[in-house]
Amino acid sequence: GNSVTQMEGPVTLSEEAFLTINCTYTATGYPSLFWYVQYPGEGLQLLLKATKADDKGSNKGFEATYRKETTSFHLEKGSVQVSDSAVYFCALRYNQGGKLIFGQGTELSVKP
């Protein structure tokens, strides 16, 4: 079946460090891929997306590239800030009702 696997957290980084959060997926067909972010006490917000192979999604300095050959959609940021501390969720959507399948989430903590 379809599934998403993310790297275990929590991830703790110093401010201005480079961030990578790994995400791999299993799916039939060609799903769309998403990263959502959840700040403490809030709902989920869409961070970026990619709808086909080799697409790069980007937003707020975060990037992720849809790699069909490795079935991956890793999230990266060149220089993290304290305000990036949150839980990050990778998700896929296959076109049956627009439903999302989420990874388990990765908590990021950025220290000054």
Partner 1 sequence: DAGITQSPRHKVTETGTPVTLRCHQTENHRYMYWYRQDPGHGLRLIHYSYGVKDTDKGEVSDGYSVSRSKTEDFLLTLESATSSQTSVYFCAITEGTAIGEYNEQFFGPGTRLTVL
The dihedral region occupied by 84, where left means phi > 0, alpha psi between -120 and 50, and beta the remainder, is: alpha
Residue 76 in tokens: 């990266």
Pairing of strands 106-111, 11-14: parallel
Distance separating alpha carbons of residues 93 and 86, to the nearest angstrom:
22
> Should residue 46 be labelled a site residue for partner 1 when binding is judged by CB under 8 A?
yes
106 neighbors 18 (Cβ within 8 angstroms): no
- Closer CB to partner 1, 76 or 102, in the complex: 102
Establish if 27 lies at the interface with partner 1 (CB under 8 A).
no
Residues 6+ apart with CB under 8 A from 97: none
Among the candidate windows 21-29, 54-62, 72-80, 101-109, which touches partner 1 by CB under 8 A?
A: 101-109
Tell me which stretch binds partner 1 (CB under 8 A): 13-21, 56-64, 71-79, 90-98.
90-98
Q: Does the protein bind partner 1 through residue 29 (CB under 8 A)?
A: no
Interface residue with partner 1 among 42, 66, 75, 109 (CB under 8 A) is 42
> Contacts with partner 1: how many residues (CB under 8 A)?
21
**Residues that bind partner 1 in the complex, under the rule CB under 8 A:** 4, 34, 36, 42-46, 49, 89, 93, 95, 97-105
